[in-house]
């Protein structure tokens, strides 16, 4: 099977059916969640699970065909069976729960605020009793379901009631029985869901009133941006359409303010062309509020079925189900969030694999290290402290030995350099040098390594230092050997002498390894 | 009445039923299930694995430390052997005295005195000894002696040098630092005295005795 664009568009990640019987006509709508979003579908689609399983089988079949014969016997039976299973064989048919609509005129809605103390508990009990707890299943003629949710700082409870006879009639007309797990939902609730799906209420502030109009009637829904709070069924058999809308507006406004103690209606919108545009201006003038016209289908059985199908695709915990008390409560195993638990388990499996990999690699390294330690025979049985002592002793021996054997300064080379670099007229008187390694020089200004030259140069006039003095210093300073080991060369002192009628200058040049600091 | 009803106290049964009712709340059930899975994961996977990893990591560190130490010792031994090749195998005082006098003879300088003195520094089994020389000769002869000292296969260091130009020659005092075998040094804390053919001196024993006791 090739995954063309056409195939992709037919893939259904999830699908659901909505069924609504009205005036002897059964409206059935199929809605599916596809890779391109949620949309109404017709005909057969491709279920994602079927697609995946068919692809896996195909890959497995191809792999087994290419496998050398000698390996076939080792192949697990499950794989062989899975590969040879006929992909076209239909799975065992099973009933897929649908959402069935109950006509608006057969349902009574009761909405009220829940007081913080007493009513809150009542609501909680109601939730528990109605939502699959161990509530008694009384043989009642009236079915009831309620939801409680928070609006601003208040809790609102909606209770819907319908007669059992109505559900039996729907079952007879549609063939969908509550015992098979189908949900029965009030039609106005489904209308709101469909309307909200097509034209969502974007503002979160204030209450919203939406009119969904049809040819013979409609629905006015008082809602927040998330849920409906009350609705009113409209019919214009006896009165003009706008008048009915205005009456519904005032009824629901009063209900919101006085019964639910909520704020005034802030936004009004009309859905269902062409009636919406026809009524807009008159309604706006009558209620003195801006009225928007939003896109969407007209009110009718098809729209109801569409809303019901959306509910089947994306089931919500706080949706109504009038047949709840007729159905067996879900077991705890059915309520368990298996997906999240499996996801968390998979995280732990990943963690196990990572830790196991780390452990294995560390064990391997340990094995190698232990073998290498064992291979050093002289160290076997020697305690770690003894080895450390030996290493320390060797360090204490080797480091000074290295220092002693390194010959940075060579006095022989230094003398050669001095002899070759000093100017011709200069004569050396004394050469003193030290290269101390482990002892400190008592004269700290000289440091542990230095050469001090005392030399003479002819100088006829007292007070005039001959150029040979500075030449000597400069030449020594520029010499490569001195620059490397005794880079700081300076003139230490200069004295002028006269002897036997000849004048000369005696000067000292000091070359040290470090800058002399006083 | 079944065996279970007899064995299980009624209050336990009530508690179990209450728990079931509580677990019907999707939020509570979700929190419980995820907590149980997380607990199982942490207690069943993470804790034992991390404990095992800690043990193996500790053993590995011990083994690697020991291996590193052994290798370090082997390397230091090897380095020491190589370094000791630059020193005579049994380089005691007598050896060094004869060795220096041979060099002095070859260079042609006149040796006035040769004194040895022990220093405090010890390098393993070797001890630092200074040979103080008083010599006289031409600049070339002294330069030859210094060059030999600083380039011969047995390493010695010229620690101190003082040369003074006289009318016809250069007089010098050298302190040559050598490393002598300590075992031999302990038995030979006497100074070597060498006399040149020209000017023998008698200063060595006293000076050597003085430095030797100090070390």
The per-residue pLDDT for range A291-311, each reduced to its tens digit, is 889 888 889 888 999 998 888
Percentage of chain A beyond pLDDT 70 is 86
A139 alpha carbon, distance to own chain's centre: 50
Closest chain B residue to the Cα of A411, Cα to Cα: B146
Distance CA B128, CA B143 (A): 24
Q: What is the pLDDT of residues A177-199, one digit of tens each?
A: 888 888 899 999 999 989 988 88
- Chain B CB contacts of A432 below 8 Å: 161-163
Reduce the secondary structure of A252-283 to three states and give it as a string.
HHHHHHHHCCCCCEEEEEEECCCHHHHHHHHH
**Distance between CA B44 and CA B47 in Å, rounded?**
7
**Among A340, A373, A435, whose Cβ lies nearest the Cβ of B67?**
A373
- Report CA-CA distances (Å) from A110 to A209, A229, A244, A259, A260: 17, 9, 21, 11, 11
A-chain residue closest to B121, CA distance: A438
Residue A277 tokens read as 């545009």
Counting runs of H as helices and runs of E as strands, what totals does chain A give?
16, 19
State pLDDT tens for residues A257-289: 888 888 888 889 999 888 888 888 888 888 888
Task: Name every chain A residue with its beta carbon within 8 A of the beta carbon of B65.
Answer: 384
Closest CB to A394 among B73, B159, B162: B73
Q: A473-502 burial, b for 16+ CB within 10 Å, e for fewer?
A: bebbbebebbeebbebbeeeeeebeeeeee
Tokens of residue A161, six digits: 């009631």
pLDDT at residue A149, rounded to an integer: 84
What are the backbone angles phi and psi of residue A106, rounded to the nearest 5°?
-95, 0
**Crossing angle (nearest 10°) for helices A241-254 and A275-287:** 50
Cis peptide, bond prior to residue B176, ω within 30 of zero:
no
Angstrom distance (rounded) from CA A88 to CA A84: 11
- Position B33 scores a pLDDT of 92
pLDDT at A365 exceeding the cut of 70 = yes
Residues B88, B91: Cα–Cα separation, whole Å:
5
φ, ψ of residue B188 in degrees (nearest 5):
-125, 50
Using DSSP's 3-state secondary structure scheme, residue A407 falls into coil
Considering chain A, what percentage of its residues have pLDDT values greater than 90?
16
Sheet holding B170-181, edge to edge: A488-499, A502-512, A449-458, A427-435, B157-165, B170-181, B126-137, B110-123
Q: In the structure, what pLDDT confidence band is assigned to residue A87 with cuts at 50, 70 and 90?
A: low
**Domain-wise residue ranges, chain B:** 11-83, 93-214
pLDDT-derived band of residue A65, with 50, 70 and 90 as boundaries? confident
Which residue did the predictor score with more confidence, B5 or A65?
Answer: A65
Query: Counting Cβ atoms within 10 Å, is residue A406 exposed (0-12), middle (13-18) or buried (19+)?
Result: exposed
Of A197-206, A347-356, A429-438, the range with the lowest mean pLDDT is A197-206
Interface test with B, best of A315, A357, A431, A486 (most B CBs within 10 A): A431
What residue ranges define each of the domains in chain A, with the CATH number in brackets? 5-84 (no CATH), 97-199+300-336 (3.30.420), 207-295 (3.30.420.40), 411-512 (3.30.980)
From the list B64, B69, B83, which residue is nearest A401 (CB)?
Answer: B83
Burial tier of A270 (Cβ tally within 10 Å: 0-12, 13-18, 19+): buried
Task: Classify burial at B142, counting beta carbons within 10 Å of its beta carbon; exposed 0-12, middle 13-18, buried 19 or more.
Answer: buried
Query: How far is residue B140's CA from residue B147's CA, in Å, rounded to a whole number?
Result: 10
Please measure the distance between the N-terminal and C-terminal CA atoms of chain A and give it in whole angstroms.
92
pLDDT digits (tens, 9 = 90+) for B136-189: 999 889 999 999 988 888 888 888 999 998 888 889 999 999 888 875 544 444
pLDDT for A125 equals 39
Residue A518's CB is within 10 A of a number of other CB atoms, namely 4
Q: Beta strands of A398-465 (E only): which ranges?
A: 427-435, 449-458
What pLDDT shows up at residue B57? 94
Asked whether the predicted pLDDT for residue A406 surpasses 60, the reply is yes
As its CATH architecture, domain B93-214 has 2-Layer Sandwich (3.30)
Cβ–Cβ gap B41/A347 under 8 Å? yes
pLDDT digits (tens, 9 = 90+) for A223-255: 988 888 999 998 888 888 888 999 999 999 998
Instruction: Note the pTM of the prediction, 2 decimals.
Output: 0.54
Mutate to test the interface with A, among B20, B29, B123 (most CBs of A within 10 A): B123
A435 and B150: CB-CB below 8 Å? no
DSSP-based helix, strand, coil % in chain A, nearest 5: 45, 25, 30
- From B136, B139, B130, B149, select the one nearest B192 (Cα to Cα): B130
Q: How many Å apart are CA A46 and CA A36, to the nearest integer?
A: 14
- CA B106 to chain A, closest CA, distance in angstroms equals 16
* CA-based nearest residue to B181, from B114, B119, B115, B128: B128
The DSSP element (H or E) to which B70 belongs, if any, is helix B47-84
pLDDT of residue A325: 81
Cα dihedral B42, A340, A178, A187 in deg (nearest 10): 140
Question: Which residue of chain B is at minimal alpha-carbon distance from A124?
Answer: B25
Q: Tell me the nearest-neighbour CA distance from B43 into chain A, angstroms.
A: 11
How much is the pLDDT for A361? Answer: 94
Give the residue from chain A lying closest to B178, CA to CA.
Answer: A404
The model's pLDDT over A461-512, given as tens digits with 9 standing for 90+, comes to 666 778 888 888 888 888 888 888 888 888 888 888 877 778 888 889 999 8
3-state secondary structure (DSSP) of residue A75: coil
CA triple A143-A147-A152, angle to 5 deg: 155
Which of A187, A194, A216 lies closest to A271, judged by CA? Answer: A194
In our burial notation (b when 16+ CB lie closer than 10 A, e otherwise), range A370-393 reads beebeeeeebeeeeeeebeebbee
CA distance A78 to chain B (A): 29
Give residue B72's pLDDT: 93
């Amino acid at each position: 099977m090739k995954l063309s664009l056409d195939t992709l568009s037919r893939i259904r990640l999830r699908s659901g059916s909505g069924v609504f019987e009205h005036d002897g006509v059964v409206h059935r709508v199929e809605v599916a969640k596809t890779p391109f979003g949620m949309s109404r579908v017709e005909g057969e689609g491709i279920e994602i699970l079927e697609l995946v399983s068919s692809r896996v089988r195909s890959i497995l079949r191809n792999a087994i065909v290419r496998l050398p014969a000698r390996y076939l016997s080792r192949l697990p039976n499950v794989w062989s069976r899975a590969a040879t299973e006929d992909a076209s064989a239909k799975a065992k048919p099973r009933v897929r729960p649908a959402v069935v609509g109950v006509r608006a005129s057969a349902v009574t809605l009761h909405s009220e605020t829940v007081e913080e103390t007493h009513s809150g508990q009542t609501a909680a009990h109601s939730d528990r009793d109605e939502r699959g707890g161990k509530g008694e299943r009384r043989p009642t003629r009236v079915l009831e379901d309620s939801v409680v949710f928070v609006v601003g700082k208040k809790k609102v409870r909606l209770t819907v009631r319908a007669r059992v006879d109505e559900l039996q009639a729907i079952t007879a007309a549609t063939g969908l029985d509550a015992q098979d797990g189908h949900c029965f939902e009030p039609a106005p609730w489904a209308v709101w869901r469909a309307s909200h799906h097509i034209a969502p209420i974007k503002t979160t502030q204030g209450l919203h009133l939406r009119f969904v109009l049809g040819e013979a009637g409609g629905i006015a829904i008082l809602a927040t941006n998330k849920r409906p709070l009350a609705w009113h069924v409209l019919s214009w058999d006896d009165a003009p359409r706008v008048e009915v809308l205005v009456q519904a507006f005032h009824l629901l406004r009063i209900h919101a303010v006085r019964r639910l103690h909520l704020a005034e209606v802030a936004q009004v919108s009309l859905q269902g062309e062409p009636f919406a545009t026809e009524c807009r201006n008159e309604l706006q003038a009558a209620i003195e509020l801006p009225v928007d016209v939003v896109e969407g289908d007209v009110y009718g059985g098809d729209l109801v079925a569409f809303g019901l199908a959306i509910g089947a695709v994306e089931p919500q915990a706080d949706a109504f189900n009038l047949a709840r008390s007729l159905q067996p409560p879900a077991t705890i195993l059915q309520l368990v969030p298996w997906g999240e638990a499996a996801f968390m388990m998979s995280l732990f499996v990943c963690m196990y694999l990572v830790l196991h990999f780390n452990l294995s690699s560390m064990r391997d390294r340990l094995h190698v290290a232990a073998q290498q330690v064992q291979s050093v025979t002289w160290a076997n049985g020697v305690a770690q402290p003894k080895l450390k002592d030996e290493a320390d002793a060797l360090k204490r021996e080797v480091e000074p030995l290295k220092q002693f054997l390194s010959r940075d300064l060579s006095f022989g080379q230094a003398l050669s350099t001095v002899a070759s670099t000093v100017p011709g007229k200069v004569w050396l008187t004394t050469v003193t040098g030290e290269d101390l390694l482990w002892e400190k020089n008592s004269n700290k200004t000289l440091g542990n390594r230095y050469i001090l030259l005392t030399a003479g140069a002819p100088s006829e006039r007292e007070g005039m230092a001959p150029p040979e003095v500075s030449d000597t210093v400069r030449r020594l300073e520029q010499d490569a050997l001195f620059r490397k080991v005794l880079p700081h060369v300076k003139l230490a002192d200069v004295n002028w002498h006269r002897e036997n009628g000849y004048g000369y200058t005696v000067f000292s040049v000091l070359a040290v390894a470090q800058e002399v600091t006083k | 009445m079944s065996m279970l009803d007899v064995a299980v106290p009624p209050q336990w049964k009530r508690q179990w039923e209450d728990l079931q009712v509580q677990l019907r709340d999707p939020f509570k059930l979700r929190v419980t299930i995820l907590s149980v899975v997380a607990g199982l994961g942490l207690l069943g996977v993470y804790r034992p694995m991390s404990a095992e990893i800690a043990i193996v990591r500790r053993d590995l560190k011990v083994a690697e430390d020991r291996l590193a130490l052994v290798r370090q010792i082997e390397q230091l031994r090897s380095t020491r052997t190589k370094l000791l090749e630059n020193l005579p195998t049994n380089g005691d005082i007598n050896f060094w005295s004869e060795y220096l006098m041979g060099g002095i003879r070859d260079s042609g300088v006149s040796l006035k005195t040769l004194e040895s003195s022990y220093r405090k520094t010890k390098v393993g089994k070797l001890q630092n000894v200074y040979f103080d020389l008083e010599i006289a000769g031409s600049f070339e002869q002294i330069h030859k002696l210094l060059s030999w000292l600083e380039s011969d296969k047995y390493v010695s260091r010229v620690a101190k040098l003082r040369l003074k130009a006289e009318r016809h020659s250069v007089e010098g005092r050298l302190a040559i630092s050598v490393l002598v075998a300590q075992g031999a040094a302990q038995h030979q804390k006497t100074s070597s005295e060498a006399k040149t053919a020209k000017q023998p001196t008698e200063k060595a024993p006293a000076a050597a005795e003085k430095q030797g006791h100090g070390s």
